[in-house]
Chain A
């Protein structure tokens, strides 16, 4: 019995101005155990963000349902923390005030998280004074401060440069290794998925569905040097093949 259960969830967006409806997500099932770290990997436009938004309660499925800890998800709520790809810090609040925004956040939790994400000394800065990486670290702290049952991440490092992105991955992984908070992480970056996840769910091209699941048996704690190990390369070769077929379908090219 999974902690998070996605049962036969699909999403069809109605056609615009009499156009044909868009099938964004085929019937999808996924189970996530408590304390697990799952990456959903897929080419752009495969509906992976739609799936995450349905789990968050920001979108409703056309069929199926999502259960979290036995409770059906009806709307967005503080038990599912989310970090978005776009910068969503509230511009009128300081770093500390942003982290305190959540209904279950406290001063003590905020102080500890500011320490953990390395933003001491920046508590009273406004978001516009921060770099992209600092903003996303604050967004992560804001979600964690609310103590959600599950953390949903929608390509949170997608807009960052490569070096910053690698550091952010290590930071998030370090936090997970310490707290074992259940995480559902959406990405199109294969290296990111292998490095972070215990299990990678690969999505097919539109209309998206989960075509296969790959268990990543790399030991924890993981160090960035692992990215050059033979085991890592083997996973990468396997997932690259899976993704390449789907990316070609999206680009409407036949496999070579």
Chain B
């Protein structure tokens, strides 16, 4: 029986999560092996898997995966290095927020992908341009979310710290930062997911390597098996990085979970 909010056991949770993957692949296999969908549009799971193995064995696909991971992590770390301190300053100090917030809110709506032609003009088609696409796509979002998190620090905690002798710097360092840290980490986990979208877009245009570049090449060869394998690869890497992030957060901030 389904009861609202009733918890599910750990074993059942894993089994249910795995079951949907089984259902998904079964439906895919049924549609393709059964011949309901033309192989030109959608290859079957077995072909997709074997073509994947070929990609790794004969075409050095691991290098593409490596370069894409490097771009995502590189652009994301750059964005976090700028956005987290600025977001903290904005959340803690209202004049700083008043100065940056309107512009950042505006810049947040500028689509990162629309910058690609401009960035190619400015930075060429090398790694700098790829990193910049991810940077632009992530930095403004992180700034705003961190500012909101830090700005919503419970007022009574701040007041308690004042009555214990903390000064303005102490409030930021000893109250606002530790209070916001787990939520900031959650925000970064979320935005890392978006960064994966930007990297593929960046690699679809003017790239000579990376998962996105391979997908683009496969389209020219009309090889839907390779294309789907590339997409699934991104999903798997995303899932693994997400689990690592979650695991690290729970270890780093045991009081918050």
Q: Which A residues between 136 and 177 are near B, CB-CB below 8 angstroms?
A: 139, 142-143, 146, 152
A82 to B165, CA, bound (A): 11
Contact A91 B165 (CB under 8 A): no
Q: Is the CB of A146 within 8 A of B164?
A: yes
Cβ proximity bits B172-195 to A, threshold 8 Å, 1 near / 0 not: 001100110100000000000000
Nearest chain-B residue to A102 (Cβ)?
Answer: B164
Give the complex CA separation of A236 and B163 in angstroms.
33
Q: Is B162's CB under 8 angstroms from A76's CB?
A: yes
Taking the nearest CB of chain B, how far is it from the CB of A141, in angstroms? 12
Q: Quick check: is B156 within 8 A (CB to CB) of the other chain?
A: yes
CB-CB contacts of A50-65 with B at 8 A, as 1s and 0s? Answer: 0000001110000000
If A76-B159, A88-B157 touch, whether A103 touches B179 (CB-CB below 8 Å) is: no
Given known contacts A91-B255, A92-B256, A126-B255, is B178 in contact with A58 (CB within 8 Å)?
Answer: no
Chain B residues with Cβ below 8 Å from A180 are: none
Is B253 part of the contact surface with A, judged by Cβ < 8 Å?
yes
Bound-complex Cα distance A101 to B174 (A): 9
| Interface residues as binary, B131-162 with A (CB distance below 8 Å gives 1, 0 otherwise) | 00000000000000000000000101101111
Query: Interface residue tally of chain B, by bracket?
Result: 20 to 34
Name the residue on A nearest B175 (C-beta). Answer: A90
A86-B255 contact, Cβ under 8 Å, with A58-B162, A81-B163, A101-B164: no
Scan residues 66-92 of chain A and give those whose CB is less than 8 A from a CB of chain B: 75-78, 80-82, 84, 86, 88, 90-92
Of the candidates A92, A101, A104, A128, the one whose C-beta lies within 8 Å of that of B161 is A101
Distance from A186 Cβ to chain B, minimum over Cβ atoms (Å): 14
CB distance from A181 to the nearest CB of B (A): 15
Within 8 A of A (CB), among B195-250: none
Does B166 touch A at the CB level, under 8 Å? yes
Q: Are B162 and A92 in contact (CB under 8 A)?
A: no
Q: Which residue of B lies closest to A145 (CB)?
A: B164
- A contact face: mostly helix, strand, loop, or mixed: loop
Q: How many residues of A contact B (CB 8 A)?
A: 29
A78-B164, A102-B165 in contact; A58/B159 too (CB < 8 A)? yes
A134 to chain B, nearest CB (A): 16
| Interface contact tally, CB-CB below 8 A | 68
**Are B165 and A104 closer than 8 Å at their CB atoms?**
yes
Please report the C-alpha to C-alpha distance between residue A76 and residue B160 in the assembled complex, in whole angstroms. Answer: 9
Nearest-Cβ distance from residue B161 to partner chain A, whole angstroms: 7
A128 and B156 form a contact (CB under 8 A): no
Least CB distance from B210 to A in Å reads: 40
Q: Are B156 and A103 within 8 A (Cβ)? A: no
Establish whether residues A77 and B156, one from each chain, have CB atoms under 8 Å apart when the complex forms: no
Find out whether the CB atom of A128 lies under 8 angstroms from the CB atom of B164: no
Q: Which residue of B156, B163, B255 contacts A92 across the interface (Cβ within 8 Å)?
A: B255
Asked if residues A142 and B156 are in contact (CB atoms below 8 Å), the reply is no
B163 contacts A82, C-beta separation under 8 Å:
yes
Complex: A91 Cα to B161 Cα, angstroms: 13
Q: How far is the CB of B208 from chain A (nearest CB, A)?
A: 47
Known contacts: A92-B179, A92-B253, A101-B174. The answer to whether A84 contacts B165 by CB under 8 A is no
- In the complex, which of the residues B157, B163, B179, B256 contacts A76, with contact meaning CB atoms closer than 8 Å? B163
Chain A residues whose C-beta falls within 8 Å of the C-beta of B164 in the assembled complex: 78, 81, 101-103, 142-143, 146
In the complex, residue of chain A having the shortest beta-carbon distance to the beta carbon of B254 = A126
How far apart sit A71 and B19, CA to CA, in the bound complex (Å)?
A: 70
Establish whether residues A58 and B163, one from each chain, have CB atoms under 8 Å apart when the complex forms: yes
User: If the complex has contacts A76-B159, A84-B160, A86-B156, are A92 and B178 also in contact, measured as CB distance less than 8 A?
Assistant: yes
- Taking beta carbons and an 8 Å cutoff, which residues of B are in contact with A? 154, 156-157, 159-166, 174-175, 178-179, 181, 253-256
6 A–B contacts, CB within 8 A, in A order: A58-B159, A84-B159, A92-B253, A103-B165, A127-B255, A142-B164
Lowest 10 CB-CB distances: which A-B pairs, in order?
Answer: A78-B165, A103-B165, A76-B162, A88-B160, A102-B164, A82-B163, A92-B178, A126-B255, A88-B156, A92-B255
Q: Which residues of A contact B (CB under 8 A)?
A: 56-58, 75-78, 80-82, 84, 86, 88, 90-93, 101-104, 126-128, 139, 142-143, 146, 152
Further 8 A-B residue pairs, CB within 8 A, beyond A92-B256, A126-B255: A57-B163, A75-B162, A90-B157, A90-B178, A92-B178, A101-B164, A102-B165, A127-B255
